[in-house]
Structure 1
Amino acid sequence: MPTTTMNIEELKHKNKDTLDKLDKHAKYVFDFKDRQAEKFFGAMSPKTRSIMTFFFSPEYDYNSATETFDPNDEVEDLQLTHSEIVRKVWSRNQLIMAWCFLIFMSLASTIMSSSFSSYIVYASSEFSQMGALASVQIVQSCIFLIARALCGKLADNFGRFEAMTISVVCLAVGSGLYMGIHNIVTYFAALAFYSVGDIGIQMMYEIFAADTVTLRDRTFFQTITLIANLFTPWVSGPMVAAVLKNSTWQWGMGMWCIIVPGCSLPFLFTLLYFRIKAYRMGLRIRRGDPNRTWFKNTVTGIIRMDLPGLVFLCAGLILFFVPISFCTGTDNWKLGENIAMLTVGTFLLYVVFPLWEFFFTKHPFLKYKLMYNRFVTVPGCIIGLYNMAFAIYHPYFQTWLLLAKGLPQARATNIHMAMFVALTGTTLVFSPLMRWRAKLKSVLTWGTILYFIGMGLTYEFRRPEKPLSTMILAQVFEGVGAGLLVIPVMVYIQVVCKQSDSAAAITIYYFFTSSGTILGNVISAAVYRNHFPKILRETGLFSEKEIQTIFSSIYAGLGYKIGTPQRAAIGASLNTVMRSLLVGPFVLCAIMFCLALTNADINLNVAQRIKRASEQRKMDENEGSTEENGDAGLVVTNSFEEKSAGSSDDKKQVNEKVVQAV
């Protein structure tokens, strides 16, 4: 018996040695580019090497993203990070259960979001405003920008449960309003509530992942919330077609006010349970002085949310960019209402908002000090340019599929979602490789290259004579490139920020995405409004009234049968517009590639170890401060947490190894 046990142990030891050798050899192969880069920089003169290193291989200080503890901080600034509280309160099995509930909720919200993009085409046509599709996207992107900041501040100042609850309620109200709208004004009111709820829920998925998952595994777990994209085309496409056949688009959008809140109840109850459990353990999640009343702490939290700044920014963006999208290429600049909107929007956006943010509020819209960090701004610009390139042509992509390609609604929705399927699948497939390699610079670089290739294929295969399969291939290439950009960039920004700033880091990430989307939609609206009617006139097949009808409603274009000269002219005109819309993204992709080369090659393993070590030191210092000062407002208890194994000497050895790894 002892001999058998010894043989098993020897076999395990041999297998471990073999795996270690394979891992070492594999990493040696993958590090080929790093060795070549060292030779390349080593062959340069010292001055040239320092310049090239600064631009293309900058050094990163891992200690810049560690938690610090200042005993002189105010009471309201002393708190545990949410990730620390999760480790104290939640067990592994409870986290698995919570993630199952979150995935169940994300299935409903993802299917809802994918179906809404199809309903919007018919909703805008209902009010003869198909030409305003990109303008609708501008308004929605502006609301998204504000909603993300608002949700991040809610999550930080009040709690994760409160932020998720408010987001679900807003989505339910917005979806419910869609069922009763009959004009463009009420449509925008419903859009505002829906946008706040939808983007708030998505952002809470990211924040929950940041609280509960290590840096190495974060790419995979943040992608899990999008797993419904893998089968959404086979669900949302037939569903949209069935709803439009048997009911109306209002009901198709409004039914989600029941479905999504119902699917969110298990996750919300889980968050509430552990919120109460942490409170009973004496762990404070919400900022505030425990010596003040609940009402005063709530008022303090509201003040920290910077609501006036959010209102100034949202109103300024909408009033400035929407008139530009409507007026470009027309004489509408002379209209009084457009002049008034541009004037007020310019004043709010470029005068009132900056003055308020830098001189009047103590809690600005964004943590601007984080944006001074090059390793936050550069990847932020990459994801901003990606969203700008995507938003330039995508608002009218499904319209092009329906009119130029003559596809039925279900197939058009499937192709429209092909990119998102590829994006989700790519991130899921490559996340184990990202975890093993623990470096993201090469991932981001390859993402920009593949997205550029996909954009080129979309430009080439948009022609009517090209088979539909080639367009699907182009969308898959775009999705693969996007899959190596969207989530990895978010993780990269979180790595270089402190864990306590995780919500602020995600807010900054979405600030860049929304800014790029807004600019892209402005360009898209301007090109479509300026080119499409003009090209239709040049065909000589339509009267001015017919041109305006086709321009404003998809129903008018679909009314012409496939094969008629009029339908062919509409398809050719839209194809020319798509050609113009796809030129700009080429330049943006080239800039994205250059920016990707300037990122630091950060090691996620080293960053995770150093962050964990700093958090442990902070917790120890907090406990010591509480023991010395008594009940000074910060309550930290370890009664429900298993003590870390090892003595103080062991901890010192761990810290020394971490420093050596850096």
Structure 2
Amino acid sequence: MLSTTAAKAAPRRSLMVSMGSLMLTMFLAAIDQTVVATAMPTIVGELHGLESVSWLVTAFALTSGIATPLYGKLSDMYGRKNLYLSAIVLFVIGSALCGFAQSMGQLIAFRAFQGIGAGGLMVLNMTIVGDLATPRERAKYQGIFGSVFALASIAGPILGGYLTEHVSWRWIFYINLPLGLIALAVAFAVLKLPRRVSPHRIDWLGAVLISGLLTCLTLFTSWGGTVHAWSSPVIIGLGAGAVLLAVLFVLVERTAAEPVLPLRLFRDSTFTIPVAAVVLMATAMLGAATFLPMFLQLAAGASAADSGLLLLPLMGGMVVSSTVVGQLVHRFGRFKWFMVTGATLAGIAGILFSTMDLGTSGFVSGAYMVLFGFGLGMVMQNVLLAVQTTTPAADRGAATSAVTFARGVGGAVGMAVLGGVFSGRLALGEAALTPEAIRALPEAVRHATQLAFSDAITGVFAWVGPIMLAAAVLLTFLKNLRLAHAAEPVTEAEPRAEPTPSTPA
């Protein structure tokens, strides 16, 4: 018979292996949010689609945002594992299609398909962590997962730049095939989650309405003032459609037996404030991750590979702060002021990004990136921690999907807005300018072109800082809760409410 020590060690080993498999799929989903960043100038130059540049990111963020509420609710009803494995398969198929794309329209469509799988990976990954770990342990693991997310977010541009320069931009998608198959095999073999079957109906109408709402919002912000005038029938129709769908969604969710996004969750400010803040933070984070590599290549003249390496300070700041703050929250049980401080630091860094020009040194831009990454690492994983701490276990999938959906809204709508700012400020008629083409221009023309790109991109950064500072202000209204050491983690087979966190200090 096993000794007591051996008996305790076995579940611990199982937990660590499960966490390792989740980290692998987190890395897989996160890396594709930014892998196109350094390849984007080459892609739009080859496929002739500078006017559609933001849609390479927006399409992915839009569909992943649409998918997350449905994944979250279905996982609460039927269990996580099979949905999780299905999301990996969809992501891998989408990656293969992206690599085969022959036009910008095809690539955007395939990125949208890929986002459906990625949305499932992100929400189910974070929900399963909440199932396996107690509240205090979540702080530690979310810190580690935040580091993995940061590593993937910055490894994406580095990997994308290297493959684009030395192989082909198509391999930024093909590389997901072996990684995805490994992730699928590991998750199938080691992830042990009991099945759950619920007799309730799926809220398909709610899912359709929230999908239509996010689509209308994205098109409204993306097309308004660029493709169509703000006063055009198309833009007015999209705005009216978004309002109508929002009203219908609220009415449907109030009466649905199993709402895809339970409105009762919004009665708690500890849920509502982080969800609202993550919309702003996702806009700022994805804006920086997308336009920093473009600045380094199109304005500063760096190669695709070099621009990825120049983003290492951002990754370093995120990895360090995410890991350290996760341990501190695990030890002291408080997270509010880490979040406020982190959002403030990232906001200051965003403002500093807007001051960069062609003469900004690598040391100075690197220092700004360290500050931005350090701030993000303090806040991003704690947003999810705040939501999971106060949400009943039976609603954990829906609550986690709400955070991921909010990140998708920030990514899709926010990037559409920032892409519009970029397009509106870019006074160039040439849509096929790759970094190589710019470097081949006569010196005077090259300098004028780089100035145009610099002005357009720093105009985007002028929005990133204030958006992040607005999130910091919002987070100051969050209750200063203390995490419980908690009971045993909740399994899918036996959902139960967690101990209520102590009252605010």
TM bucket normalised to smaller: 0.7 to 0.9
CA shift for structure 1 position 331: 6.1
| Structure 2 length-normalised TM | 0.86
Does the CA-based 8 Å contact 1:330-1:530 persist in structure 2? no
**Structure 1 residues 113 and 528: CA distance shift in structure 2, 3 A:** closer
User: What letter is aligned with 2:325?
Assistant: F
**Structure 1 residues 142 and 270: CA distance shift in structure 2, 3 A:** same
Does the CA-based 8 Å contact 1:131-1:525 persist in structure 2? no
Secondary structure of the corresponding residue to residue 443 of structure 1: helix
Separation (CA, whole Å) in 1 of partners of 2:150 and 2:472: 27
CA shift for structure 1 position 423: 1.5
1:129 paired to 2:52? no
Separation (CA, whole Å) in 1 of partners of 2:32 and 2:248: 39
Deviation by residue 1:224-268 (Cα, 9 ceiling, x = unmatched): 335456766996566445533454322431342333123331222
Does the CA-based 8 Å contact 1:138-1:521 persist in structure 2? yes
Of residues 538, 549, 555 in structure 1, which corresponds to 2:434?
555
Gaps of 5+ in 1: 1-87, 279-283, 289-299, 534-546, 620-633, 637-654
Of residues 381, 384, 406 in structure 1, which corresponds to 2:301?
406
User: What letter is aligned with 1:600?
Assistant: K
1:354 paired to 2:265? no
Separation (CA, whole Å) in 2 of partners of 1:478 and 1:577: 20
**Structure 1 residues 91 and 329: CA distance shift in structure 2, 3 A:** closer
Does the CA-based 8 Å contact 1:141-1:517 persist in structure 2? yes
User: What letter is aligned with 1:471?
Assistant: S
**Structure 1 residues 137 and 318: CA distance shift in structure 2, 3 A:** farther
1:326 paired to 2:326? no
Deviation by residue 1:300-353 (Cα, 9 ceiling, x = unmatched): 5xx42x33433333344334532542341566668xxx845762x445432245
Does the CA-based 8 Å contact 1:449-1:593 persist in structure 2? yes
1:516 paired to 2:410? yes
CA shift for structure 1 position 121: 3.9
User: What letter is aligned with 1:358?
Assistant: L
1:436 paired to 2:331? yes
Residue of structure 2 equivalent to 1:571: 450
Separation (CA, whole Å) in 1 of partners of 2:240 and 2:276: 26
Deviation by residue 1:361-386 (Cα, 9 ceiling, x = unmatched): 43333111101211211222222222
* Map 1:259-270 → 2, pairs under 5 A: 259-270=179-190
Residue of structure 2 equivalent to 1:532: 426
**Structure 1 residues 231 and 346: CA distance shift in structure 2, 3 A:** closer
1:593 paired to 2:472? yes
User: What letter is aligned with 1:367?
Assistant: P
Residue of structure 1 equivalent to 2:5: none
Secondary structure of the corresponding residue to residue 225 of structure 1: helix
1:475 paired to 2:364? no
CA shift for structure 1 position 152: 0.7
Separation (CA, whole Å) in 2 of partners of 1:519 and 1:111: 20
Separation (CA, whole Å) in 1 of partners of 2:225 and 2:502: 57
**Structure 1 residues 354 and 246: CA distance shift in structure 2, 3 A:** same
Does the CA-based 8 Å contact 1:391-1:524 persist in structure 2? no
* Map 1:427-466 → 2, pairs under 5 A: 427-460=322-355, 462-466=356-360
Which of structures 1 and 2 has the bigger CA Rg?
1
**Structure 1 residues 585 and 145: CA distance shift in structure 2, 3 A:** same
CA shift for structure 1 position 97: 2.4
1:603 paired to 2:464? no
Residue of structure 1 equivalent to 2:386: 492
User: What letter is aligned with 1:196?
Assistant: I
* Map 1:13-412 → 2, pairs under 5 A: 91-228=11-148, 239-245=159-165, 247-271=167-191, 274-275=192-193, 278=194, 285-288=196-199, 300=200, 303-304=201-202, 306-322=203-219, 324-328=221-225, 339-340=233-234, 343=237, 345-346=238-239, 348-352=241-245, 354-359=247-252, 361-392=256-287, 394-412=289-307
Aligned length: 491
Separation (CA, whole Å) in 2 of partners of 1:506 and 1:635: 18
Residue of structure 2 equivalent to 1:630: none
Separation (CA, whole Å) in 2 of partners of 1:241 and 1:353: 40
Is 494-503 or 216-225 further displaced after alignment? 216-225
User: What letter is aligned with 1:583?
Assistant: A
CA shift for structure 1 position 443: 1.0
**Structure 1 residues 586 and 254: CA distance shift in structure 2, 3 A:** closer
Does the CA-based 8 Å contact 1:111-1:228 persist in structure 2? no
Separation (CA, whole Å) in 2 of partners of 1:121 and 1:143: 23
Separation (CA, whole Å) in 1 of partners of 2:296 and 2:470: 29
User: What letter is aligned with 1:249?
Assistant: W
Secondary structure of the corresponding residue to residue 422 of structure 2: helix
**Structure 1 residues 223 and 659: CA distance shift in structure 2, 3 A:** closer
Does the CA-based 8 Å contact 1:216-1:435 persist in structure 2? yes
Separation (CA, whole Å) in 2 of partners of 1:102 and 1:377: 27
Deviation by residue 1:490-521 (Cα, 9 ceiling, x = unmatched): 10111121122221221121232222333322
Does the CA-based 8 Å contact 2:388-2:396 persist in structure 1? yes
Does the CA-based 8 Å contact 2:54-2:419 persist in structure 1? yes
User: What letter is aligned with 2:264?
Assistant: K
| Structure 1 length-normalised TM | 0.67
**Structure 1 residues 421 and 598: CA distance shift in structure 2, 3 A:** same
Residue of structure 2 equivalent to 1:32: none
Of all paired residues, the percent bearing the same amino acid is 16
CA shift for structure 1 position 112: 5.0
Does the CA-based 8 Å contact 2:303-2:435 persist in structure 1? no
